[in-house]
Amino acid sequence: MREDIEQASCRLSTANGEFQLYGFKEPETGLEHAALCHGDFGDGAPVLVRLHSECLTGDTFSSCHCDCGPQLRSALKAIAKEGRGVLLYLRQEGRGIGLVNKIRAYALQEKGADTLDANRLLGLPADARSYRFAALMLGELGVREVKLMTNNPGKVNGLAVHGIEVVERVPLQVGRNRRNGAYLDTKAHRMGHLFDVLREPQGDE
């Protein structure tokens, strides 16, 4: 374990079973990130992993404007079903622009801007996230090869450049509803996210 990375751990009982919870403090930023681990990684086989960026509005307030909350819950269920896996909960609110700027971007989206243009109108990048520390966290946990649950190829590349091999990308396509269809289509058509099917939502989904 690297001595410059402050960390702690405990057992955590959840609706999806027993997990080991690790907390990591990033030295350069002071941000505190979490890792929820389930099962044994000692055999060296690829591990099912989700990199989940913090989303207060979706994860906590059940916002219908994104798919973050459903992705978080589905990822934890998938890890429990697999019997082993890691969910990294990364303090990267609003794709790295922070909560206040995210709220400002939402206000611009209310006036017709999409999620990409809203950030640009604020003078901010479409995606300000780095996955260097996420790769370091996985290394500290003994994970070198992963099956990554994501629709975003940027996460695959972001881990690969920092020494984590992504042997498989596992789609995580959940949470589409009447409010977030345009948001998801913008991610697909303008930000390169991968979706098997783009369609208009049906009923109350």
Q: Which residues are catalytic?
A: 127, 129
Going through the chain in order, the beta strands assigned E by DSSP cover: 6-14, 17-25, 32-38, 47-53, 85-90, 145-149, 165-170
Distance CA 113, CA 60 (A): 24
Distance CA 96, CA 54 (A): 9
Distance CA(26)–CA(6), nearest Å, equals: 8
Compute how many other C-beta atoms are within 10 angstroms of the C-beta atom of residue 139.
14
CB 118 within 8 A of CB 145: no
User: Strand runs (DSSP E) across 39-119, as ranges?
Assistant: 47-53, 85-90
- Would you say 16 and 80 are in contact if contact means Cβ atoms under 8 Å apart? yes
